[in-house]
Structures are given as structure tokens and as C-alpha cells.
Amino acid sequence: MGNEAHGAGLPGGHPRSPRTGLARRTTEGIRQPVRSGSSRGELMRLFVAIAPPVTVLDDLDVLAGPLRPGRQDLRWTSREAWHVTLAFLGQVEESAAARLLPRLERAARRHRAFRLAFSGAGAFPAATRANVLWSGLSGDRGALAHLAESVAAGARRAGAPPPDKGRRFQPHLTLARCRMPADVTGLVAALAGYQGPPWTADRIHLVRSRLGATEHPRYITLGSWPLRPAEQDPGPGGPGAPGS
């Protein structure tokens, strides 16, 4: 989930929905204008993310759920809004957001779907004085990093550069935030051995975060673009095999 805050209130989002909240998109591709209640020139708080399958999030939630009651000093993120942030863009002008849509579409077309899994845990900046508790990712982290680079490059060209330029990309899913630095060493240890089921990252989402009266923002998915299909292993004797 990167640098973006998380909360309930996604359109149609529900913990047992067949899709995650981010997958409930307003449009397929770029055919719908970027409005979503915005007046011309209004700033929109945006991020680009991957939405893991609901069954994968269910598995992680089974492990994280029993830990929450014992640490009510933390702000646990909303399960139905869990996602992996590729780029947090911050406040973006509507005109820049409109230019961003085709660039995200092109970025998605340049990358193939790839496999990931949630694995282990950690904290920012450190477990003994944490502001964020997170679950990490294993699998094709190289493909994930390259996709994040393409998304960030497209955002810069559209005039919506990520504000954390220069910071090393650290893929993760935020489980909890801390108002004041907290010691989460025990939680990191409890989650350290976790290895979730593998899943395929095959789509990116442009999401608007609207802050309301509560501490949890409402998410509105402005666009969604599929990655190219993953390469298939031809197997013995298949195309490209020796002697074929």
C-alpha cells in the first residue's frame, strides 16, 4: 500500500466481495473522463496500485485478525481496501490526471502479468519505533519494480510526478499505522514466518482517495488497465524447445 492511507468506503467494497474494492472500477481503460465529482482545476489525491485477489487477502486476514485486539494503540487498515501501491502521486490537478490516463494504459501494455505472494513482515522506519506495520511480498519482485518504474515515469511525463522521487521502492501492504512511534517487534515476529498463496498481478488501477469526516478515506477507482498476458511455458517439445 505504499505511502497512501487506507480505509473503508470504496464503492461496493465488502470484505467478502468476489473482488477487492479497487477492482470495482468506474471504467475500463480511458474511455471515461476523469471527473468523479471534481470541478475543473480541482486537486485530486491519487495513487496507482495493484489489487490482490480476495482469497489471498482472506488468507492474510486470518493471520492478522487475532493480532488486532491486543494492539488497539495502532490504526489497523481496512481489510476491504488492502492493496499494493505502485506510485503515490499526492495532489494532482485534473488536467494532469487526464494526461495520466493514456500514459498508464501504455505502461500497462508494456508489461506482462507476473506472480507474487505476501510473505513475512516489517515496519517503517524500524520495528522498535514504527510508524507503519506491513506485510512484504515475494515472487517476481523484479517485474513489480519495473512496473512501478514505468508508472512513475508516466506520471512524471503527465505532470504528476510522485512526491517521493528518489526513495527506494519497497513493495508492501500496510497492515497498521501508528500515530506515535510504537514498538511492534512482537507483531513483526508473529508475522515473520507467513507465506501466503501465490497470485497473478495482471492489472493496475488509478485510484482517488477522498478524505472525509472520519479518519478513513473513501476510494474511487478512476481507471483500470490490464497487463499483457503472462508468457506460457511451452514445456518439453513445445515451441522454442531444443530441436523444434
Q: Report the catalytic residues.
A: 83, 172
d(CA 186, CA 219): 31
Helices 94-109 and 141-157: angle between axes, nearest 10 degrees: 140
Least Cα distance to 58 among 80, 90, 85 occurs for: 80
Evaluate the CA torsion angle 48, 54, 60, 61 in order and state its sign: positive
Per-residue buried b or exposed e for 21-45, using 16+ beta carbons within 10 Å of the residue's own CB? bbbbbbeeebeeebebebeeeeebb
d(CA 204, CA 134): 21
Per-residue buried b or exposed e for 195-213, using 16+ beta carbons within 10 Å of the residue's own CB? ebeebbbbbbbbbbbeeee
Instruction: Say if residues 84 and 23 touch (Cβ distance below 8 Å).
Output: no
Q: Are strands 130-139 and 74-76 parallel, antiparallel or unpaired?
A: unpaired
d(CA 50, CA 84): 5
